Copies of this chain bind each other. A is one copy, B any other.
Amino acid sequence: MNSELSSLKVQDLGEQNLLQRLQRFCPVEIIGDDAAVLVTEPGQSLVVTTDILVDGVHFSHITTSPEDAGWRAAAANLSDLAAMGATPVGITVGLGLPGEVSVSWVERLYQGMTECLQRYHTSIVGGDVVRSPVTTLAITAFGQVVPNKIIRRSAAVVGDAIVVTGVHGAAHAGLQLLLHPELRQNLNDAEKTALIKAHQRPQPRLDVLPLLWKILSSQSSILVAGMDSSDGLADAVLQICRASGVGAVLEHRQIPLPKAFNHWLTQEQALKYALYGGEDFELVLCLPKEPADTFVQQLGQGAAIIGNITAGSKVLLHDQQQKSPDQVLSLSQGFQHFSQ
């Protein structure tokens, strides 16, 4: 990057000029009207999700490069689409910026978003840039889904297996390694890199949907319940149970963890990271045992059945190696953004 670009500030350019510079991150055909026109396939429903991210609350200059902040913001929204069973159609980006932010920071943010979107064959289709005392990123993502394949939180039924598509706790571990470098000493380079990457470049699990539908193709009446684990695994199971009016039993030893946790964290810490750490962007899905087994086998790489849906409303954590009573999980144990 040349020094002229890196010293140029948003206030030097003005809103119109900055918007023009950012248009190179968008497909040419959608630029220049009051709104973007998107094409969805006939017979599919439109799925919409929105996130607002604030500097100092949801991302930090200390632990996050602008590229990573952009990637993570895009990934979070694509993960919400995956959680509904939907394929991405595009995103819009609203950006609030203090005048003293450098133009290169903004372009690197867009670069990170675009890298993530391209990986999942989608793009930025519109946006807005305004002045704000705090850097704020508002993303709305659009997807399409065949109506009888919509994954809803409310569709879990007693007897369903609870599937996770990968390990939990890695993203939170990566964040802790960035915030507290002294924690790195008991990890080898590969372990450190993998955990930090899990935080910086989370992968929305859009890739698992075709496999899921293939396995269920002969049983079209099965409704899959689910959501993503962006607010933690415990939160995901609790939300699904609340929406479905059911309970669940989770098997402590079945929750897939990063291998490094074995020698790096106590069992209690590891469980806390997995249940409440958040931002792993895996899917938590509820479906009958037989297709769930096939799904988990074919996914490999940390996918697992971690428990079952039960009657009642309690979500219990059971540990078959211990004689202690089951632990009851509740939403208040998780993160509450305002009240912490």
Interface residues of A (CB under 8 A from B): 10-11, 13-16, 18, 32-40, 42-43, 45-54, 56-58, 79-81, 83-84, 86, 89-90, 92-96, 99, 125-128, 130-134, 136, 138, 140-143, 145, 150, 152-154, 227-228, 243, 331, 336-339
Contacts and interface: CB of A to CB of B under 8 A. Distances in A.
B52 A128 contact: yes
B50 A127 contact: yes
B227 A33 contact: yes
Contacts of A154: 32-33
Contacts of A331: 16
A234 to B, nearest CB: 14
Nearest to A54: B132
Contacts of A152: 33
A315 B153 CA distance: 55
29 contacts: A11-B338, A13-B338, A14-B337, A16-B331, A32-B243, A33-B243, A34-B79, A34-B228, A35-B80, A35-B84, A35-B86, A35-B143, A36-B49, A37-B48, A37-B145, A48-B92, A48-B142, A49-B92, A49-B126, A50-B94, A50-B140, A52-B138, A54-B131, A57-B132, A94-B94, A96-B136, A131-B337, A133-B133, A140-B140
Contacts of A141: 35
B34 A84 contact: yes
Contacts of A10: 338
Contacts of A83: 33-35
A145 B37 CA distance: 9
B53 A130 contact: yes
Nearest to A53: B130
B14 A339 contact: yes
Given A96-B136, A142-B48, A154-B32, A37 B84 contact: yes
Given A54-B96, A125-B48, A14 B132 contact: no
A37 B48 CA distance: 6
B46 A37 contact: yes
Given A34-B83, A39-B45, A50 B138 contact: yes
A48 B30 CA distance: 11
